[in-house]
Amino acid sequence: MSELSINTTQNVKINFKAASVGERIGAYFIDLLIKIAYGVVVFMIFFSLNLEKLFDKLDQWSVMSVILFFYFPIMIYSITLESILEGQTIGKKVLKIKVVKIDGYQAGFGDYLMRWFFRLIDVTIFNGIVAIVIVIISKKGQRLGDMAAGTSVITLKNNINISHTIIEEIGSTYVPTYPLVIKLSDNDMRIIKETFQRAAKKNDYETIQKLVSKIETVTGIKNQSGDSHDFIRVILKDYNFYTQNM
């Protein structure tokens, strides 16, 4: 399973694990079963109402139009659900994988449309062998549709504990220092904490300084401690204090 490094819009790198070929195939077959179930239901309704007799009264083009009408939901299944569920189909949701942009932006309808269009080459032709081979050899776990759309599929099955969340342990007597910290969002705090932990582990002082500067610019807060490490730790605790007591 390869690691995917994504630059966010805050110019901060976040590392994700690219979804494995097995996970992607599993999601595909779950979605395929749903499509088959839909087809079976339509088939049963069609024949229970004796609608097949209508075909005898229609010309060839009309018959094809009727078939296309019933097949259309299957055709747009993936692009519709990925657009609604922000990068997931039911199969992807079950397997906990998701389509994301590799430039840090939220994937949009145009990206999902590009991926859907290339399914003809990636998945339909040669029974998906093309997609499997390309995903395996791609450094970012991308099929052709992902490469064209600038997306990849990541796994959401990361082992989570308190150090991976924005939660900080603070005592009942804790006194906050920076009230303006509430200008930040939960997502901002997650990015700050993850970046700080990685930088501190590698003694990457330059990244920590950039992080401090970014916090000061966005919030208007000024570092009162003079120590960048302490400043970020206080920011994390202050945010928890104010959000827990709002």
Distance (Å, whole) CA 54 – CA 57: 5
Average pLDDT of span 20-45: 93
pLDDT at 163: 44
pLDDT at 97: 92
At 81, the pLDDT band (50, 70, 90 cuts) reads very high
At 159, the pLDDT band (50, 70, 90 cuts) reads very low
Per-residue pLDDT of 193-205, as tens digits, reads 888 888 888 889 9
Nearest to 5 by CA among 190, 195, 197, 203: 195
For 113-117, 124-128, 157-161, 217-221, which range has the lowest pLDDT when averaged over its residues? 157-161
pLDDT at 127: 73
Task: List Cβ<8 Å contacts ≥24 apart for 76-84.
Answer: 76/116, 77/31, 77/34, 77/35, 78/31, 78/112, 78/115, 78/116, 78/119, 79/109, 79/112, 79/113, 79/115, 79/116, 82/107, 82/112, 82/115, 82/116, 83/109, 83/112
pLDDT at 112: 94
The whole-chain average pLDDT of the chain stands at: 83
What does the domain layout of the chain look like in residue ranges? 3-155, 162-244
Per-residue pLDDT of 37-79, as tens digits, reads 999 998 888 888 777 677 777 788 887 888 888 899 999 999 9
Most confident of 5-14, 30-39, 169-178: 30-39
pLDDT at 36: 95
Residue pair 186/166 in contact (Cβ under 8 Å)? The answer is: yes
Per-residue pLDDT of 106-156, as tens digits, reads 788 999 999 999 988 888 777 788 888 898 898 888 999 999 999 999 888
Average pLDDT of span 15-27: 88
